[in-house]
Chain A
Amino acid sequence: MGWTGKVLRVDLTNGTSTSEPLNMEWADKYLGQRGLASKYLSEEMDPKADALGPDNKIIFATGPLTGTCASTGGRYSVITKGPLTGAIACSNSGGYWGAELKFAGWDMVIIEGQSPKPVYLTIFDDDVQIRDASEVWGKSVWEADAWVKSTHQDPMMHVAAIGVAGENKVLYSAIVNDLHRAAGRSGVGAVLGSKNLKAVGVRGTGGVSVKDFKAFMKATNDGKKVLKDNAVTGVGLPTFGTQVLMNVINESGALPTRNGRDVQFEGAKDISAEAMAEPRKSDGKPNLLTNQACFSCTIACGRISKIDEKHYTVQNKPQYWQASGGLEYEAAWALGAATGVSDLEALTYTNFICNEQGIDPISFGATVGAAMELYELGLIDKEKTGGLELVFGSTEALTTAVELTGKAEGFGKELGLGSARLTAKYGRPELAMTVKGQEFPAYDPRGVQGMGLTYATSNRGACHLRSYTVSSEIMGVPEKTDPLVTEGKAALVKAFQDATSAVDSSGLCVFTTFAWTLDDIAPQVDAAIPGDWTTEKLLEVGERIWNMERMFNNRAGFTAADDKLPERMMKDAAKTGPAKGLVSGLDKMLPEYYELRGWTPEGVPTNDTIDRLAM
C-alpha cells in the first residue's frame, strides 16, 4: 500500500536483475523517492567513488503517492553521485514514467556496475530484461523513445533515455522521459552513459493500492480543491506556466543577466510567458499551443510549443515543426538572459535540442554565458570556437553551441564540461556562476538574499528547488519577507529545505507548495501508508534527509569551504533595480544557518543533532 514493497536491483556488470523487499524500517524514516533512495545510496556506496566509474550507483525512485490520484502524484527522482558536482545528485521528473514504474510493481530500481556494451532495460511488470542497445546507441532521446516502443510493439510503454550528450558524458546531461520531461540536473545522464545504459522502458499493468481508500479520496479531494482555489496553482501556472516569473523576477532586479554581470535583462519581456502567448509577427501564430499536465496533476503547468516553420533554426528541418516541450522559466532564463539572447523562437529551438539530446538547459545556458564572457575578455578566440562569434546576445552562437554540445563536437566538447571547469581551464575560475560546480538557476542572490544561502548550502550544488525562498521573498507564500535583507533568512532557508525534502520524497510535485503546506500533504500521505504521518513527522523526516545528504557530501570530501558563492556575488554590487548597490550577505547568514542546523562552525552535524534525528 502506497509503497509496492519491492526494489528491483540491476547489476549491469554481470547482466543480472533481482527483486528484493523494500527496507520498511528505512521507509518509515525516509518516506520514499529522494529520501529513501538517498539512504540506500548512502549505505551502499563509497561517496568518494568516481561518479562515472562502475562503483557509482544510480537509483530511479518513486514516492508512496506516485501512481495514485493525489494531485501531481506521478513524480520520480534519479539519485546518484553527480559527475558535475561530485556531490549527491537528486533530479526530479514528472511525465508518466514514474507512475508506470509503480504500476509495474516497483518502488525503485537500483542500477549498479557497468555494462561492457550498450544496453537498454525493459520492465514489463515482473519481466525484467537487459537488452542489446547497439542499434540505438548514438541516437537521440526522441529516436530511442520511438525505437523502444516499436521494437516491443507497445505504444503504451514509457521510456526514460539519454541522448548523445549522456553517451558522451556531457557533465550536465539529463535523463529525459516522455520526450520532454527531465531528471535534468547534476549530470545524471552522464552516469547512465558511463554505465552504457541507453534507456529504461517500462510498462505496468498492476494496480497501486493505499492504506485507507476512503480517507485517501477525502484527503486528495480536499487537496485538489485547495490547488484549484489558489491564484498561483489554480490560474497563474496553468495559464502562464512557470514562465509567469520572467517579468516578475526581472522587475525585482533578480534576473541574472550576461553571466551575472547584470541583474535585469532588457529582453525579458520578449522571452516571457506573455510573449509566448502572443501571435508572432512572422506568421501570426503564438509560440505556445497548450498546457500539458504530468501524470495525475490537476495544475497542468507544462508548456507545449511550436516553432515558426520559417525561423532560420528549423526552416530546412521539418522534424522540428511538431509541437513539443516549450520553455519553462528556468530554461528561458538560462538560454536567454544568461546569454543575452532574446529571440523566443531560437530559445525554443535550443530547448527542443536540449530535450532531444538530453541536456540540462540551465547548466548549458549558464555555461554558454560564461564562455561568452571569456570570449569577450579575449581568453577564447575564434580559432578555439571553430569560427563561432561567441558574443553576448548572439542568437546564432547559442543555437550552434547547443548542436555542438549535444553531439560533443568541436567547441561543444569544452562547453560540455560546464562553467566551473571551462572557466578554470582558461584561468578565470571566479567567472563561473556556480556552487559546488553546478550552475545557478534563475534568481540572483543579490536581489533575493535567501537564494544566496539556498545555493551555497544546497546539497546538490546551486539549485532553486532545494529551498525556494522566492516563494516567500517575492510572492509572499506562505508569508512575505523582504528579499533585500538577510535577517531571518537562515531560519527561512532551513524551513524550506526541510519541508521540500519531505515533499520530494512523497511522489508529489514541489509546485503544489505554492498552495499546500505540509498540513495539506500529511493527511494524503497518512491515508496512503502506515506510520502515523503528521506534519511534524514529515518535517522531522525532511530534516533527517537534509542531514543525511550533507553527511554523504562530507564523506565525499566537501567542507564548509564549499558553501560559498562566486566572488561576483560577494563583491560586485547589483547595478540596477531594487537591489542596486547590494551584494549577497551570505557571510552574515551562513554562521547562523549552521547553528540553527545543529552543525559545527565547520558545517558538520554534531553528535547531538545526529542523535536527535535518530540517524
Chain B
Amino acid sequence: MLKALVIDPGKCTGCKQCEMACSYENEGVFNPSKSRIRVFDFHEDARFVPYTCTQCDEAWCQQACPVNAITTDEMGVKVVSDSLCVGCKVCTIACPFGTINYNASTGKVIKCDLCQGSPACADACPTAAITYQDIEQTGFDKMKLWAGKTGAAVEIDGPNTPV
C-alpha cells in the first residue's frame, strides 16, 4: 500500500518535535534549520501549520533536474541522490511549494523522502497532527466527520471547523 503524510494543522501546537525528529533522522543531530518538514507559526491567527513535500507524481523538481539526480522509488517517493546532485538549485526554483531546499553545508539539495517508509516526524508528533496513512484514503477522517453530521440535528459551523 502506498502511504502519504497527512497533516491536520488544527491539531498542531507548534512544539517542533517533528523538526527535531526529522533533523535527527537525516543529519544525526537536533537541528531544525536542516529539517525537511517545517512548522509555520501564523501567530496572529493562532494557527500552526506543518508543511513538507507532498511527493508529486509528476514532480517539477524531478523534471527540472539537469543531471537526473532525483528518482522515484517503489513507494512513489522522490529521492535525491547525493552522488549525482551537483547543487545547481534549479529544482528549488522549479518546485512550486518550496519544499526542496539547498543545504549549504553539503552543497546538495534536501527534501523529504518519507524516511524510507517510516516517517520520523509522524512518529514524533505528540498530537497526531502529522500521520502516515493510506495514500488513497487521506480524506477518511474528514469524510467520517462530515458523514457523522449528515442527518444529525447539529449545526455545522463551517467547512473547517471540526468539533
B 27-49 contacts with A by CB, 8 A? 27-34, 43-48
In angstroms, how far is the closest chain A Cβ from the Cβ of B104?
8
Query: Of the 9-residue stretches A292-300, A365-373, A476-484, A560-568, which lies at the interface with chain B?
Result: A292-300
CB-based nearest B residue for A217 = B24
- 5 nearest CB pairs, A to B: A207-B29, A207-B31, A293-B15, A323-B46, A300-B13
Given A292-B13, A295-B16, A300-B13, A69 and B31 touching (CB < 8 A)? no
B17 touches A298 (CB 8 A): yes
* Contacting residue for B33 out of A71, A103, A179, A294, CB 8 A: A103
Contact (Cβ within 8 A) B20 A293: no
Whether B45 and A294, one on each chain, are in contact in the complex, defined by CB atoms closer than 8 angstroms, is no
Q: In chain A, what residue has the closest Cβ to B10? A: A290
B33–A228 contact, CB under 8 A? no
CB < 8 Å neighbour of B46 from A156, A206, A207, A289 = A289
Partner of B31, one of A103, A289, A297, A300: A103
Q: Are B29 and A228 in contact (CB under 8 A)?
A: no
Judge whether A295 and B15 touch: CB under 8 Å: yes
Q: Does B46 contact A290, Cβ atoms closer than 8 Å?
A: yes
- 19 sample A-B contacts, Cβ–Cβ < 8 Å, listed by A number: A71-B126, A103-B32, A156-B33, A207-B28, A207-B29, A207-B30, A207-B34, A208-B29, A209-B30, A292-B13, A292-B48, A293-B14, A293-B15, A295-B15, A295-B16, A297-B15, A304-B43, A322-B43, A322-B44
Set of chain B residues within 8 Å of A450, measured between Cβ atoms: none
Cα A228 to Cα B124 with chains together (Å): 13
Q: Which residues of B contact A (CB under 8 A)?
A: 13-17, 20-21, 23-24, 27-34, 43-48, 124, 126-127
Assess whether A351 is interfacial by the CB under 8 Å rule: no
In chain A, positions 200-243 with a C-beta closer than 8 Å to chain B are 204-210, 213, 224, 228, 238
A306 within 8 A of B: yes
Residues B14 and A69 in contact, CB atoms below 8 Å apart? no
A395 at the interface (CB under 8 A from B): no
* A296 and B17 in contact, given A207-B27, A209-B29 (Cβ under 8 angstroms): yes
Interface bits A289-325 vs B (CB < 8 Å: 1, else 0): 1111111111010001010000000000000001110
Q: How far apart are the CA atoms of A254 and B43 in the complex, in Å?
A: 35
Report the bound CA distance from A290 to B48 in whole Å.
10
Q: Please tell me if the beta carbons of B21 and A69 are within 8 angstroms of each other in the complex.
A: yes
Q: Which residue of B lies closest to A179 (CB)?
A: B43
Contact residues on A (Cβ < 8 Å of other chain), bracket: 35 or more
A288 nearest CB across to chain B (Å): 9
Bound-state CA distance A209–B29 (Å) is 5
Taken together as a complex, chains A and B put the C-alpha atoms of A67 and B14 apart, in Å, by 15
Give the shortest distance, in Å, between A291 (CB) and chain B (any CB). Answer: 6
- For the complex, give the distance between the alpha carbons of A411 and B37 in Å: 50
- Distance of B163 from chain A, by nearest CB (Å): 13
Q: Give 11 A-B pairs besides A69-B20, A96-B16, A207-B28 with Cβ atoms closer than 8 angstroms.
A: A207-B31, A210-B30, A290-B46, A290-B47, A296-B15, A300-B13, A300-B15, A304-B46, A306-B46, A322-B44, A323-B45
A68 within 8 A of B: yes
A207 CA / B28 CA spacing, docked (Å): 9
> Hey, what's the 0/1 contact readout for A66-105 against B, CB within 8 Å counting as 1?
0111010000000000000000000000001001000100
Q: In the complex the two chains form, what is the Cα distance from A298 to B20 in whole Å?
A: 13
Closest to A289 in B: B46
Contact A69 B46 (CB under 8 A): no
In the complex, what's the smallest C-beta–C-beta distance from A21 to chain B, in angstroms?
20
Q: Which of B27, B30, B43, B48 has the most chain A CB atoms closer than 10 A to its own CB?
A: B30
Residues of B within 8 A of A103 (CB): 31-33
A103-B31, A204-B33, A206-B31 known; A69 and B17 CB under 8 Å? yes
**Which A residues are CB-close (under 8 A) to B126?**
71, 224, 228, 298, 300
Q: Flag if B23 contacts A207 (CB, 8 Å).
A: yes
Complex CA–CA separation, A209 to B17 (angstroms): 15
Q: How far is the CB of A347 from chain B (nearest CB, A)?
A: 18
Complex: how many Å from CA A293 to CA B44? 16
Do the beta carbons of B46 and A68 come within 8 Å of each other?
Answer: no
* Shortest distance from the beta carbon of B29 to any chain A beta carbon, whole Å: 3
**Cα A396 to Cα B23 with chains together (Å):** 50
Q: Looking at B14, B23, B28, B127, which has the most chain A CB atoms within 10 Å of its CB?
A: B14
B43 proximity list for chain A (CB < 8 A): 179, 304, 322-324
Shortest Cβ distance from residue B134 to the other chain A in the assembled complex, whole angstroms? 26
Q: Which A residues are CB-close (under 8 A) to B23?
A: 207
A40 to B46, CA, bound (A): 39
Closest A residue by C-beta to B23: A207
Nearest A residue (CB) for B27: A207
Q: How far is the CB of B131 from chain A (nearest CB, A)?
A: 16
